[in-house]
Amino acid sequence: MANQVIDIRDTGRNSARTGDVRDLADNVVSSWVSATTGTIAVTADATYDVSFTQPADTILIAIPAGNIVTAGASGDDVDFDLGTAAGGGQLVDEKAILDDGGSAVTWVANAPLYIIQDSHGHAANAFLTTAVSAGIVGGPATSEAIVIAATLYSASARTLYARLKPLANDLATAATTVTYLVEFLHLGVLPD
């Protein structure tokens, strides 16, 4: 069985045939790579690193197994760092995903944060939600803008290092883990 080639020249660049679109949609495969931190203690200034292989065309999602709650004093943030070396910050350099400005901030258990999606970061407070349609249910009420410091594209797979770091005072609640999921899509072989 040979691989099927879809020729869009017959219908023009902006007018793919319905059957071809359906064939492509049926052959998109979603794959995952995951890595889980060790148990996060409440201790301030400790770091929790994980590493994983980044395939091309990925999004990065972080999901805590339990609640993570800051201490409630200004500066008691939980920072996120992503780099090609542990704590390196080459891709995202220490941005607060829980930004404590004087009130405790909670990241609720099992609330997925799409930290990097479509090769973009996020505006400040992007994880806040008051309704299911508004954003992430259980996401932190306040967060810094997630700024991408360098290109996320890599021509080959590479090892990335994600770090969570509670700042200043000890966390009010932690004793949990955070799992990072890296999702990527690729096209399967179309049938003849």
pLDDT per residue as tens digits for the range 7-32: 444 445 555 566 655 655 555 555 66
119 vs 68 pLDDT, higher one: 68
Pinpoint the alpha helices (H) of the chain.
18-26
Distance CA 189, CA 29 (A): 10
Tokens linked to 135 = 């954003």
pLDDT per residue as tens digits for the range 124-177: 988 886 445 455 577 888 899 988 888 777 777 788 899 999 998 889 987 888
- DSSP H or E run through 169: none
Distance CA 122, CA 97 (A): 10
Residue 72 to residues 76, 78, 141, Cα–Cα distance (Å): 7, 12, 13
Mean pLDDT of 37-51: 87
> Quick one: pLDDT at residue 96?
92
191 vs 174 pLDDT, higher one: 174
Domains of the chain are: 30-187 (2.60.120)
Single-letter amino acid, residue 133: S
pLDDT per residue as tens digits for the range 67-87: 999 999 999 999 999 999 988
